[in-house]
Structure 1
Amino acid sequence: MENNRIKMTSFFKDIAFKISLVLLLLQYGLGFSQTAISVTSEVDTTSIKIGEQIRFKIQVEADSTAQIVFPEGQTFSPLEMVEVIMTDTVRKLDRITLQKIYALTQFDSGSYTLPRQQVVINGQNFFTDSVKIAVATIPVDTLSQKMYDIKPFLEVEKSNIDLWKNALWIFLSFAVIGMLVYWFLIRKKNLSEEEKVALLPPYDRALLELKRLENSKYIIQDEYKQYYSELTDIVRSYLEEDVHVSALESTTDQLIEKLELLKDAGELKLDDETIDQFKKVLQTADLVKFAKSKPETSVAEQDRKAIEQIVIKTKEALPEPDEEDLLLDEEYQEVLSRKKQKKKWTMAAAVSIGILFLTTIVSIGYYGWKPVKDTLLGHPTKILLEGDWLNSTYGYPPVNLETPSVLLRQDIKLTPEVKATVKEAQVFTFSDPDALFYIGVSSTTFSSQETEPDFQNSVEQVLKSFEAKGAKNITTKQEEFKTISGTLGLKIYGSGKFTLPQSNEEVNGKYAIIIFGGKGFQQQIIINWMEDDGYAENIVNRITNSIEVKTGA
């Protein structure tokens, strides 16, 4: 009986242990299922033609709180990522399933391996499987379809914006010149009263001025000195212009003597009484001006009337001009006309020069001497900097950058030694010899996709090419270079003595070599410019800040 009891107790203990073990396994399995992570991948096809795309899908199953980072950028080399087609998320309770699909392609035939892709989940790395992809060429039926030669380069019509700018500047220049010519040469000015009087014949002008003197307030205000000064100046000016006798510089006695000589010679038919009257008026004027004499008001008025009669009688006493005098007078008027015309042109030129000078001074004050000088004389790199820039992609693997002029493809012949390692090399350049400015872009693919680029050797070859062209004292520095998208490369830069191709003159210059690369390919940008050229420095900065590459062969 006791034995049976012991057996029953042992049986139940065994059953309880097994139940506990099952419960423990169930609990562990349930917890494991809640924390397990699954990463899988697949492609829709393993065989494509050149340029076709494959769909590469990565699927992750994990806890809904997991931090998941998918592959980004060109990590699929030697295949090239075209785009991320879609990202899909499915949640179920506390679990999450993420799917990301990439479109990949290749533009060269061959067999490629899509490398394992890294997925980071909660700081832990997981990897997809690698896949073999076959890229086949597109068959060409040369029997049913004609073959044509490669078409030559076509000249692209240049933008007309510069032409319109130049035309606008020329139009504005002619407009300003036309306005100046009109204002100073053609326009009929509204003459002042003084100018109108000055244009009258000497006789008419003398009588008009005597009439004004009659209506003046000199006598009322006892300003006899001013009155007689103007009175004698009027008659002296008339005699000088019409009688052609130097009256303004002559004393009273000298002037009377000259008139008497003209009378005796028969050139001036004045009677003695008129000359005596004129002499008296001049003597009275001398007393007023120099001896401060003050004649009676009636005497002053009579002297003005006497001078008026003297002017009239002198005009009548002048002999009629003969043909020779008329010719001389005509020549004299022509000379006067030419002088006036010359004066107008001189004034217009002076105004134009003044405007140009003032504009230059203001420009120098605002922009500085060097920018204004370079604008007027045409600095080569300033023209490049301020011209129309182009954003283009060159070679394969592609190099995209912004340049002041299009880079032209260069024909490169590879030597047999180079062909052993290089499959293809594409080179594009632009240079301005006058400014010692050069930019070159090259993209190289190696014969073997596993070949790593030798940056050091590439730099040495560039420096040797500098030396072969006469460069001396070349210094080198090195630093990491990063594009806008974060692609890392190597930058080697420095300075030295470079030779201008046109004149063989040695100048201080700078250079920069920027290199990118990976298995099977290399991309390189070379820039060379003159030191202390601020415009060139701005060009280089703009170019380097625009560089973008796709690191896939």
Structure 2
Amino acid sequence: MLKNYLLNQRNNKLLPIRRFTLLCFLLMAFSAFSQKSPKVSTEVDTTSIKIGEQVRFTLTVEADTTAQVIFPEGQTFSPLETVEAFATDTTRQNDRMTLQKIYALTQFDSGSYKIPAQRIDINGNGFLTDSTTIINVANVAVDTLAQKMYDIKPLMEVEKSKAKLWLWILGILLGLLLIGAPVYWFFFRKKPLTEEEKVALLPPYDRALLELKKLENSRYIIQDEYKQYYSELTDIVRSYLEEDVHVSALESTTDELINKLELLKDAGELQIEEDTLLQFKRILQTADLVKFAKSKPESSVAEQDRKAIEEIVIKTHEALPEPTEEELMEQEEFKEELERKKQKKKIVYASLALFGLLVIGASTATAYYGFTYVKDTLLGHPTKELLEGEWVASSYGYPPINLETPHVLKRQETKLSPEMKANIKDLQMFSYSNTEALFTVGTSSTTLTQEVEPEFNKSIESFIENLEKQGAKNIITKQEEFTTLTGVKGIKVFGSGKFPVPQSKELVDGKYAILLFGGKGFQQQVILNWLDGDTYAQKIVDRILGSVEVKTEL
């Protein structure tokens, strides 16, 4: 018992110490928790404004200095409209920081509007603000006696801006320049003549004398190349005779050529002496011996033969009768015909080159993009133009539906029947339709008279019945859950069928999709209809569906 008494006394002495230690531990834990737990608060500068005035909504976040805080961006305050989001103001104290972001909000319709809860991302965790603040928007008093009231003006069709037209013109001109410059440079430009071309354009007589002079200055004799020397010598004189005397000399043997010249002499068409013909025959025979029998004459003999050939050319030219006027005319017409043939040849070559460039360009584009894409780019395709055009991101109706479309959606006039007015307070519809592309996109926002959940099944049945009334057949329907990028869940009804073509009795294979969202007192729909097998239309639909955002409360 004494032992127990001593133990109890000891425990009683240690009890205050244990309680103090436990209290310190709890205080430290609470302090550590308070340092790590962020705080989010909101504030508005006023709850009553007039139409068009602004409310300053302040979001304040207290967190550790190491925290990563992401504030909401865009039109997240609907039905209020975000006019401006000011820069974040940051203050630091020890290991804590206070972030403050101010939003300027407004509304252009009178009524009471609840500021929806805003999501702030802190270190990957979402924190929601309260949604109890209500903003009252009052009408602005207008003196209708002093100022007349006017009807709302209808929508105006605005012509597409031609600001980029000059860019297209510049691009076309650059393309023509890139193609035309090489064609002109290689085919139509007057190139400087080479030495060989200048010689070829000389008359046969002048060209023969010039070539004989070049042969005189050659090194054939010095290098004992007599075969090449006599080959060029006889080719020069034979070419001259063929062109100027009009006798087939290049393919004739020595005896045949001499016989042809003698016949011309006897007929009086070539007034040449007999000695000249004999001398010419001797030189041709010497050349035959050198070329075929490997004979090697003296260098002085070779030089004398060249001079003799030069004399023969001169005498032959002098022996030719003067050309008549008809012959001169024929020669002129012949030259013109040659020039026309050269011009035609240039045009053909240029056309072939241009065609080749087009084929190469088309083949390269086809290999890279595919035949269908190249064909649709050159010939045009309605949905391709929609896909690659300038898209519009906007908000439609109330409750708002935000989405991105190839063209702005136009408001559709709707009249509610007495039966519909019993359940529907307001119906706002917007749509865009391209009959050439057989593509349609539309939205509808419905406000109910009572705060009840919308009946999606009835809406789907009504949509299918409306398709059948328009002439659609073989409609296949599928259904699945749809979730927007911000996590709003809805229903997606989609399928295929045969749909009528406007102003025609023809039915084509098409597809459709309808998104349904809603909550107590309202319903929202996005409707799409496009041609089956149209890859461009499918990309348009995917892009629109990926951009849809809706509000889940009024």
TM-score with structure 2 length normalisation? Answer: 0.73
Report the Cα distance in structure 2 between the residues aligned to 1:411 and 1:233, rounded to whole angstroms.
Answer: 95
Contact persistence 1:184–1:347 (CA under 8 A): no
Matches within 5 A, 1:67-216: 140-184=142-186, 187-216=189-218
Which amino acid counterpart does residue 440 of structure 1 have in structure 2? G
Measure the CA separation in 2 of the matches of 1:101 and 1:183. Answer: 66
CA distance in 1 between counterparts of 2:165 and 2:231 reads 66
**8 Å Cα contact 2:514/2:527 also seen in 1:** yes
Output one character per residue of 1:243-270: Cα deviation in whole Å (capped at 9) or x when no partner. 2333333343443333233333333222
Q: What is the match of residue 411 of structure 1?
A: 413
Q: CA offsets per residue over residues 441-461 of structure 1, 9 Å max, x none? A: 222333x04243222222233
Q: Distance in 1 between the 2:187 and 2:238 partners?
A: 33
Question: Which gives a bigger RCO, structure 1 or 2 (Cα 8 Å, sep 6+)?
Answer: 1
Q: Check the 8 A contact 1:441/1:524 in 2, yes or no.
A: yes
Gap runs ≥5 in structure 1: 1-40, 59-71, 88-99, 119-126
How far, CA to CA, are the matches of 2:210 and 2:130 in structure 1? 114
Aligned amino acid, residue 463 of structure 1: I
Whole-angstrom CA distance in 2 between matches of 1:382 and 1:154: 26
Change in Cα spacing, 1:466 to 1:301, as seen in structure 2 (3 Å) is: farther
Within-5 A mapping of 1:301-316: 301-316=303-318
The answer (yes or no) to whether the contact 1:74–1:551 under 8 Å persists in 2 is: no
Shift of 1:181: 4.9
User: RMSD in angstroms over aligned alpha carbons?
Assistant: 4.5
- Larger Rg computed on CA atoms: 1
Shift of 1:56: 11
User: Is the contact between residue 56 and residue 105 of structure 2 (CA under 8 Å) also seen in structure 1?
Assistant: yes
- CA deviation map 1:171-203 (0-9, x unaligned): 112322442354135534233322222222222
Report the Cα distance in structure 2 between the residues aligned to 1:375 and 1:282, rounded to whole angstroms: 70
Name the amino acid aligned to 1:357. V
Tell me what 1:357 maps to. 359
| Paired AA for residue 382 in structure 1 | K
Q: Which amino acid aligns with 1:434?
A: E
Alpha-carbon distance between aligned partners in 2 of 1:73 and 1:330, rounded to the nearest angstrom: 83
- After superposition, where does 1:350-429 map in structure 2 within 5 Å? 350-429=352-431
- Contact 1:76 1:114 (C-alpha < 8 Å) held by counterparts: no
Q: CA deviation at 1:468?
A: 4.2
Name the CA shift for 1:311/1:374 in 2 (closer, same or farther; >3 Å). same
**CA offset at residue 469 of structure 1?**
4.6
User: Are residues 251 and 132 of structure 1, via their aligned partners in 2, closer, same or farther at CA, if it must alter by over 3 Å?
Assistant: closer
Q: 8 Å contact 2:188–2:346 — kept in the other structure? A: no
Residues 51 and 106 of structure 1 are in contact (CA less than 8 Å); yes or no, is this contact kept in structure 2? Answer: yes
Q: How far off is 1:533 after superposition? A: 3.4
- Give the 3-state SS of the residue equivalent to 1:150 in structure 2: coil
Q: 1:188 to 1:148 in 2, by over 3 A?
A: same
- In structure 2, distance between residues paired with 1:101 and 1:181: 64
1:473 aligns with 2:474: yes
Following superposition, the deviation at residue 387 of structure 1 comes to 1.7
Q: Matched residues in 2 for 1:85 and 1:321: separation? A: 98
Distance 1:215 1:438, change over 3 A: same
Q: Per the alignment, in what secondary structure is the counterpart of residue 249 of structure 1?
A: coil
The 1:84/1:457 distance shift into structure 2, 3 A limit, reads: farther
Question: For 1:189, what is the secondary structure of its paired residue?
Answer: coil
The question of whether the paired residues in 2 share the 8 Å contact of 1:434 and 1:502 is answered with: no
> What are the residue-to-residue correspondences of 1:227-306 with 2, within 5 Å?
227-306=229-308
Q: Could you tell me which amino acid in structure 2 is paired with residue 153 of structure 1? A: L
Number of the residue aligned with 1:546: 547
SS at match of 1:434: coil
Percent of residue pairs bearing the same amino acid type: 65
Tell me the residue number matched to 2:525.
524
Look up the SS of the partner of 1:160 in the other structure. coil
User: Which whole-Å CA distance do the structure 1 matches of 2:178 and 2:490 have between them?
Assistant: 55
Alpha-carbon distance in 1 for matches of 2:505, 2:254:
81
Would the alpha carbon gap of residues 163 and 51 (structure 1) be closer, same or farther in structure 2, given more than 3 Å must change?
closer
Please name the residue that 2:69 is paired with.
Answer: none
Match of residue 430, structure 1, among 410, 429, 432: 432
Aligned-partner residue type, residue 549 of structure 2: E
CA gap of 1:186–1:148, structure 2 versus 1, over 3 A, is same
- For the residue of structure 2 that corresponds to 1:269, the secondary structure is coil
Q: Which amino acid aligns with 2:234?
A: T
Equivalent residues of 2:82, 2:105 under 8 A apart: yes
Residue 74 of structure 1 contacts residue 550 of structure 1 at CA under 8 Å; is this kept in 2?
no
Q: Which moved more, 1:494-503 or 1:519-528?
A: 494-503
Residues 210 and 478 (structure 1), Cα distance of their counterparts in 2 relative to 1, 3 Å cut:
same
CA contact (8 A) 2:445 2:523 kept: yes
- What CA deviation, in whole Å up to 9, does each residue of 1:418-466 have, x standing for no partner? 34433333332223333332212222333x0424322222223333344
Deviations 1:308-337 (A, max 9, x none): 222211221222223222221211111111
Q: C-alpha distance in 1, partners of 2:502/2:311? A: 88
Residue matched to 2:511: 510
Matched-pair contact (CA < 8 Å) for 2:83–2:106: no
**2:183–2:353: 8 Å Cα contact kept in structure 1?**
no
Tell me how far 1:167 sits from its aligned partner. 0.8
Distance 1:104 1:164 in 2: 41
**Letter of the aligned partner of 2:168 in structure 1?**
N
Write the distance in 1 (CA, Å) between the matches of 2:323 and 2:76. 109
**Map of 1:348 onto structure 2:** 350
The 3 A distance-change label for structure 1 pair 114 and 224 is closer
Partner SS state of residue 461, structure 2: helix
TM-aligned CA distance change 1:541 to 1:101, over 3 Å: same
Match of 2:534 in 1: 533
Distance 1:389 1:117 in 2: 30
Distance 2:242 2:136 in 1: 113
Quote how far apart the aligned CAs of 1:293 are: 4.4
Structure 2: 5+ residue stretches without partners: 1-41, 60-72, 89-100, 119-128
Q: What is aligned with 2:228?
A: 226
Distance in 2 (CA, whole Å) between partners of 1:179 and 1:56 is 64
Distance 2:455 2:407 in 1: 30
Structure 1 residues 44 and 339 mapped into 2: Cα distance closer, same or farther (>3 Å)? closer
Show the counterpart of 2:455.
Answer: 454
Structure-2 separation of matches of 1:311 and 1:340: 30
